[in-house]
Amino acid sequence: MESLSDEILVEKSRAGNQQAFAVLLERHTDYCYSIVYRMINVKAEAEDIVQDAFVTVWQKIRSFDSQKAKFTTWLYSIATRMAIDALRKRKNQVDVHSVAIISEDHNGFTQLCNNELEESVRQATSSLTELQKAVFVLREIEEMEVVEVSYITGLSAKQIKDNLYVARKQVRERLKKTLSL
């Protein structure tokens, strides 16, 4: 089963084959987590989102159209949208709560990466809007194609370009301040 392609595994999953889906899960969890974590910056929350994203994928796999996008693109679009929703919810929370999240952030991030540089980048991206952050992570860090980012975020090529421009500018300025570039 492990040697089968994503397309075949998706077809088998469509037919209700849980083993096939487990292989897809095994294959794509890490990268999916990477994207979500870079956006969310909270370990536990990112794990929950990845978990929910895979459950949603299983529920909706019959409606997946392989003509429109690759399975991975579809998976990342679900996970990214969930991450964007989580960021929006977080924004609406009370300040005290946000402080708690940030402090947890810091600990989780430090434990995970143990890297001052990444912490600086995390702080630099914290002022970005949800979509700017998504575009920055997908296009700038993960180096995805514009078409793929467009499918995942639902933005047009021009919107992606504009959001990326603003995100880059802000991140660069923030980094300049914190790291005295």
Partner 1 sequence: MEADNYKKIIEQLRQQKPQLENGQKLKHEVMNRIRTQKSVSNIAYLIRVAASILILLSLGAYAWMEIYTWENRLAIEQRVSPNELQNNVDWQCRQTVNEIVASLFETNALVRQNDGVLINKSNMKLLEVENAELFARVSDMLERIKLISPNDFQTYQSGEDIHLNAWQLRREYGFCEWITK
Binding site for partner 1 (CB under 8 A): 16, 18, 21-22, 25-26, 29-31, 33-34, 37-38, 43, 46-47, 50-51, 54-55, 58-59, 112-113, 115, 117-118, 120-121, 140-143, 168, 171-172, 175-176, 179, 181
For residues 79-88, one letter each, b for 16 or more C-beta atoms within 10 angstroms of the residue's C-beta and e for the rest, the string is bbbbbbebbe
> Using a CB cutoff of 8 Å and minimum separation of 24, what contacts does 19-26 make?
21/58, 21/61, 24/71, 25/54, 26/2
State the minimum distance, in angstroms, from the CB of residue 141 to partner 1: 5
Query: Quick one: DSSP state of residue 62?
Result: G
**Structure token digits, residue 40:** 């969310």
CB 28 within 8 A of CB 75: yes
**Structure token digits, residue 60:** 């909706």
Nearer to partner 1, 94 or 181 (CB): 181
Nearer to partner 1, 39 or 84 (CB): 39
State the minimum distance, in angstroms, from the CB of residue 4 to partner 1: 18
State the minimum distance, in angstroms, from the CB of residue 125 to partner 1: 10
CA-CA distance, 97 to 105, in Å (whole number)? 12
Nearest to 128 by CA among 142, 110, 143, 140: 140
Nearer to partner 1, 118 or 154 (CB): 118
Nearer to partner 1, 40 or 152 (CB): 40
State the minimum distance, in angstroms, from the CB of residue 156 to partner 1: 24
Single-letter residue type at 55: V
State the minimum distance, in angstroms, from the CB of residue 96 to partner 1: 27
Nearer to partner 1, 5 or 111 (CB): 111
